[in-house]
Amino acid sequence: MGKDPNCPKKPLTAYFRYVATIRKEVQNETGLTGIKLAPHLAKRWKEVSAEEKAPFQAPIKAEMEEWKKKVKAYKKTRSYYDHQEQSTKKKFKKQPKDKNAPKRAMTSFFLYAGSVRAQVTEELGAKSVAVVGKKIGEMWKALSAEEKASWIEKQKKEKEKYNALLEEYKKTEEFAAHKAAVTKFGVNKKKAYKSLAKLRKEMGITNANDQKVAAEPIEDEADDSESMEEESN
């Protein structure tokens, strides 16, 4: 989950307290900044004696105890719940993609668009993708029924190839691994939403925005062999 901006900030470690006192000095010595400075700062810290480290370590225990109390109190607030809800939704918005699956067959429109895109782009000059796409859409609508039929036939053949490749792919270890990942994703999603519901109940929240997770299994995108509907329809 992403960082909660409203959560009390954890006390700095002794190392970072020390670094704050020498950063400018080391920057001037090395001429470095950012991540490139890190090895030099770490080296300096290792060379510091236990006695010298003590002043940086001394306040941490008390600050940590105070921080834990603040976090405990914060976890009873609506801000905490809202962050948990948003993080859960974001994390489980989309199931894992199967990067090894065959690419779905393009629609007849996109097959046509691919054949004329370079020509249209050249004719229109350095126009945006949206402008080029709009022009191609107009050209597609202007095609005769016979011309469209040839592209529809090509799409059918491409879809047949895709379906054949998909059936072969379903026999592979890669597909089995993806199915397992999708199943795990579904289980974790239900657990996360169940925990969210429990937290909501404990906090007495009745106007939360989260939705119940559907009981039906998650569809695997590789199982859906249907191509996109024609844009021109």
User: Per-residue pLDDT tens for 130-144?
Assistant: 999 999 999 999 999
**Average pLDDT over the chain, rounded to an integer:** 90
Cβ-proximal residues to 17 (8 Å cutoff; 6+ apart), any chain: 56
CA angle 124, 127, 128 (to 5 degrees): 140
Q: Looking at residues 32-43, what average pLDDT do you find?
A: 96
pLDDT at 230: 42
pTM of the full predicted structure?
0.70
d(CA 196, CA 205): 11
Cβ-proximal residues to 190 (8 Å cutoff; 6+ apart), any chain: 213
pLDDT at 2: 72
Instruction: Find the DSSP H helices in the chain.
Output: 14-30, 38-47, 50-57, 60-74, 78-91, 108-124, 129-142, 145-169, 173-203
146 pLDDT band, cuts 50/70/90, is very high
Residue 212 has pLDDT above 90, yes or no: no
Residue 231 has pLDDT above 50, yes or no: no
